[in-house]
Amino acid sequence: MAFAGPGPALRGVVQRYCGYVERTAAPLRRRESATGTVTVILSFGPRIFVDGERHGSFVAGPSERPATTEHDGVQDGVELNLTPPAARRLLGVPMHELLGRVVALDDVIATGTLLEELAEAPGWEARFARLDAELTRRLEATPPSHPAVQAAYRRLVATHGAVPVGVLAAELGWSRRHLAARFRDEVGVAPKALARLLRFERALELLGDRPLADVAYECGYYDQAHFNRDFRAFAGVTPGEMRAARLPDGAGWSADALPSVQDALPAAA
């Protein structure tokens, strides 16, 4: 795996690039937690299953529930993590239309020969530079996000969701309802829902080997039950189970030998 940040022009737009070449002795299943960001997969290899549906290159919008991905043992490509306001500009799609959805990349944006150029590039550095150039060109051709939404979004991200929504609305001179409507278009979820996701994502980053009570306290959970509830809602498992499923080298979280998200769903009528 190769990780890189974007060039200066794309800071605050692309959170990171991740290039990967993966070979496993058996099919690999990953647990993908809920997230407030937008993920773009540029696939060079065989298709991948997302919650049982096969995909090539795709866009996964912000989500409030976990998902499972799986491949047969071979997977190559690049993953981009985008902020929702930037994805709104690049894709030209209101973010609420992508909430909880996985959509073929070609269904939302024309990629032309980009995939072939990336696959044939001499290395990850060249691939990331090509993506920087492509994304910068596309952003320059689109109108900017609403500055107030950008400011509110940045405040929430910087504080890991700790700013009260009422404070944000008051700072902008907007009603909470108007703020929620603008967030729905450019971010996909209301500010309060995004704040909850950001707090959970911060806790996920801090899991490591620290005592879970310390992580919960630092992230603003008022008790262990509250901490567990968010993990079950957004990851499908408890914090301890999630920590035990960590794959090496930043490769995500295994979905094997853990309770299935489907186990908690009612049987079909």
How much is the average pLDDT of 219-227? 93
Q: Would you state the pLDDT for residue 65?
A: 96
Query: Domain for residue 265, yes or no?
Result: no
CA trace torsion 145, 93, 80, 31 (10° rounding): 120
Q: Would you state the pLDDT for residue 265?
A: 38
In this prediction, residue 257 has a pLDDT band, given cuts at 50, 70 and 90, of low
Query: Domain for residue 99, yes or no?
Result: yes
Greater pLDDT, 265 or 227:
227
Query: Domain for residue 61, yes or no?
Result: yes
Residue appearing with tokens 């060039």: 7
- Asked if residue 163 and residue 115 are part of one domain, the reply reads no
Measured distance CA(66)–CA(167) in Å, rounded = 30
Q: Which residues pair with residue 78 across a beta bridge?
A: 19, 42
Whether residue 96 is predicted with pLDDT greater than 50 in this model: the reply is yes
CATH number at residue 183: 1.10.10.60
Q: Would you state the pLDDT for residue 261?
A: 39
The string of pLDDT tens digits covering residues 6-59 is: 999 898 899 999 999 999 999 999 999 999 999 999 999 899 999 999 999 999
Q: Would you state the pLDDT for residue 34?
A: 97
Whether residue 259 is predicted with pLDDT greater than 70 in this model: the reply is no
Q: Which of 140, 173, 194 is the last residue of a domain?
A: 140
Residue 19: which domain range? 2-140
Query: Domain for residue 76, yes or no?
Result: yes
pLDDT cut 70: percent of the chain above it: 95
Measured distance CA(47)–CA(204) in Å, rounded = 27
Measured distance CA(232)–CA(241) in Å, rounded = 10
Please state the domain count of the chain.
2
- Asked if residue 80 and residue 23 are part of one domain, the reply reads yes
Whether residue 89 is predicted with pLDDT greater than 70 in this model: the reply is yes
In this prediction, residue 266 has a pLDDT band, given cuts at 50, 70 and 90, of very low
Whether residue 191 is predicted with pLDDT greater than 60 in this model: the reply is yes
Measured distance CA(139)–CA(165) in Å, rounded = 29
Q: Would you state the pLDDT for residue 78?
A: 97
Query: What would the two tokens of residue 192 be?
Result: 């309060």
- Asked if residue 136 and residue 17 are part of one domain, the reply reads yes
- Mean pLDDT taken over the chain: 91
Burial of 207 (C-beta count, 10 Å sphere; 0-12/13-18/19+) = middle
Q: Which of 125, 140, 155 is the last residue of a domain?
A: 140
In this prediction, residue 104 has a pLDDT band, given cuts at 50, 70 and 90, of very high
